[in-house]
Amino acid sequence: MSKSKAVEFRELVDNREIADLSAVFDEIWATSPGPAHFGTAMLVALHHGGHYVVGAFSEGEMIGGCVGFFVEPLGEVLHSHIAGVLPGHAGKGIGRALKHHQRDWCIERGVRTIRWTFDPLVARNAYFNIQRLGAAPTEYNPDFYGSMADGINAGDASDRMLVSWDLDVDGSPSSAVAVNDTFKVLQPTEDGTPRMLPIPPDCIDIAVGIPRDIEHLRTVDRASAFAWRHALREYLEPLIASKEWQSTGFDPSGYYTFTKICETTGEEQVHAH
């Protein structure tokens, strides 16, 4: 058990508390009315199987939680499927403390890597995952979950970026490439729509931008948000899969940064200028 300020994190063993966690997830993801975002029966099964089912409590009230399960290679990797805190408690460092509780829990069990997915259009999550925690992008998955009916994702393609958090690394934030003088292949125009440019063949560092607040944009201009989804997919899917480009971080101004990686020639390494 660990604490961050007045917040307590603990594994849930009581079915009533597990049902409370399901209800908290429903409130966070605005699924009511409708089926539960993450049903109680599945949470009970995951807990019984020894997976990570944890609640966050403030003054005895559950305000968030996180669920993860072991994946291949078994014994080495935990997939963190869902994590969140109620809106009234967001922005207080609880999410970061919850991820570090999960990290400690994994290390105690010999697990060295945590993986999870997130919506790559949500800037605050990209910054938190890549810069604050130091997780590395490993896959871009278009429409990963298919159609989703919750209040956050409904009406949009469920593209997700998979990141991998190496628990043997110090965990300090990585240093992104400064974007001021970096070639921006994707960035917002004056009216907020995406401006797309081809990657110059001689470019070493590039930046791929996203809106500052995609969630607000979805409520006021769904067509523009839809255009951003497909523009970002066009760049990130091949960049993350490429052997020529490496992620270097996420700039707080709203840009994923990438650099050309070194080519290996015999015993020597030369930068791909």
Top-ranked range on mean pLDDT: pick from 105-109, 157-161, 260-264: 105-109
The predicted pLDDT at position 267 comes to 44
Look at residue 97 and tell me whether its pLDDT is greater than 80. Answer: yes
pLDDT tens track for 153-200: 555 688 999 999 999 986 555 555 678 889 999 999 998 899 999 999
The model's confidence at residue 34, banded by pLDDT at 50, 70 and 90, is: low
- How would you classify residue 192: left for phi > 0, otherwise alpha for psi between -120 and 50, otherwise beta? left
Look at residue 4 and tell me whether its pLDDT is greater than 80. Answer: no
- 93-115 mean pLDDT: 96
**Antiparallel, parallel or unpaired: β 2-4 and 113-118:** unpaired
135-144, 179-188, 257-266: which range is least confident on average?
A: 257-266
The model's confidence at residue 145, banded by pLDDT at 50, 70 and 90, is: confident
pTM more than 0.85: yes
- The DSSP line for 20-61 is HHHHHHHHHTT--SSS-SS-HHHHHHHHHTT-EEEEEEETTE
- 43-71 mean pLDDT: 96
Pairwise CA distance, residues 221 & 198, whole Å: 26
* Residue found under tokens 């009234």: 88
- The DSSP line for 80-91 is EEEEEE-GGGTT
The predicted pLDDT at position 155 comes to 59
- pLDDT averaged over every residue in the chain: 88
Look at residue 266 and tell me whether its pLDDT is greater than 50. Answer: no
